[in-house]
Amino acid sequence: MAAASLNLARSGPPGERPAARIQPIRGSWISIWWDDRRHLYWNDTCRNYTAQQWRQAVREVAELGMEYLVLLAIAKGGQAFYTTPLLPKLELACADPLEALLAAADKYGVKFFLSSDWFGPWDHQCLHDPARVRARFQMMSEIARQYSHHRSFHGWYWPNEAALGPYFTDEFIAYVNACSREARRLTPRARTLIAPYGTHRAVNDDRFVRQLEQLEVDIIAYQDEVGCRRMNPSQSAAAFEKLRQAHHRVPQRALWADVETFAWEGPPNQQSSPLIPAPFSRVKEQLAAVSPFVDTILIYQYQGLMNKPGSKAFAGHPDSTQLYTDYRRWWRKHARKTPP
């Protein structure tokens, strides 16, 4: 966790805005494959990545000052991304992309959060159906056995995201706590991460604080919902200020941001609509909005939406080089020397 960011976000009493400083991006989600058109511009490319290209992808993230990567899923659409008796393996050019990613992260100093799902579809049955829970825990056991020897295996991400309404459901809290208890059994030192949406409904009251106390998770990276058009950056700042006030009362739950760096090629918030890079002018506003209140900023996502020009691991929309170039220019001038 970024010590400088913690000092910034937690200086002063609740409700007092800290001095403005834009935090840099500290990490990103990354996927191996996804089964809808939102990932159209990089899905097939990443499916055909060699191990060398996966390693290059991690290297380029590290070169841009990022410390964390969060794997979106270890299986999708009834196919796994690693060898397991539970599901057939997705046909990939790289025999073991998880190994390639983690080995590269070991080399370049990147910390990985590994996903725990999906064994089956994301529906109302997925959290507590006994067969699905058994399969989820078996997959976690397999992932821990095969990959937790890597020093870059930093933690777990529980990907069945909750919507704040403005509160978490009891079902979601039970799901998170069950996963975290299993994670502590398998990998006692690993950190745990969730990334809820519904942030535009954020509240700071006793009921929400009690829920934060009940949740057995280390880090909550709330989605800023600007890419999904539920908030603009100004509204995002107001929502994260409320969350900071709540988290100030429960400091054991780290408050991170999941900043959405995408726009939509077609209708917004449709699985049939490909994601495209947002302009850096908007992304910079998003970073500025959450910076006074959060410990660390992650994005959804670098992959596909930001590409180093000329990269041998290029995957994504052609405009992704512009977002990369604009962010890199700003980062080198304003944020590169920010202590990690």
Residue 296 inside a domain? The answer is: yes
Q: Over 50: is that where the pLDDT of 6 sits?
A: no
Please provide the average confidence, as pLDDT, over all residues in the chain.
Answer: 92
* pLDDT at residue number 336: 64
55 domain residue, yes or no: yes
Q: Report how many domains make up the chain.
A: 1
What is the tens place of the pLDDT at every residue in 47-84?
999 999 999 999 999 999 999 999 999 999 999 999 99
pLDDT at residue 337 greater than cutoff 90? no
Q: What is the pLDDT of residue 127?
A: 81
Q: Is residue 19 domain-resident?
A: no
Determine the Cα–Cα distance for residues 309 and 326; give it in Å rounded to an integer: 12
Q: Are 278 and 227 in contact (CB under 8 A)?
A: yes
Model confidence at 19: pLDDT above 70: no
Instruction: Give the predicted TM-score (pTM) of the model.
Output: 0.92
Residue 340 lies in a domain: no
The answer to whether residue 114 is domain-embedded is: yes
According to the 3-state scheme, what is the secondary structure of 164-225? CCCCCCHHHHHHHHHHHHHHHHHCCCCEEEECCECHHHCCCCHHHHHHHHHCCCCEEEEECC
Alpha helices in the chain (DSSP H): 3-9, 40-47, 51-63, 97-108, 130-147, 170-186, 206-214, 233-248, 280-290, 320-330
| Banded model confidence at residue 118, pLDDT cuts 50, 70, 90 | confident
215 falls within a domain:
yes
pLDDT of 15 reads 44
**Model confidence band, residue 121 (pLDDT cutoffs 50, 70, 90):** confident
Domain that residue 89 falls in: 32-331
Query: Mind listing the pLDDT tens digit for each residue in 288-327?
Result: 999 999 999 999 999 999 999 999 999 999 999 999 999 9
Domain assignment present for residue 220? The answer is yes
Decide: 69 and 110 in contact? Cβ < 8 Å.
yes
Q: Which has more pLDDT, 214 or 337?
A: 214
**Is there a domain that residue 217 lies in?**
yes
Task: Determine the pLDDT at residue 124.
Answer: 67
From 122-126, 130-134, 212-216, the region with the lowest mean pLDDT:
122-126
Domain harbouring 263, CATH code: 3.20.20.80
pLDDT (0 to 100) of residue 9: 41
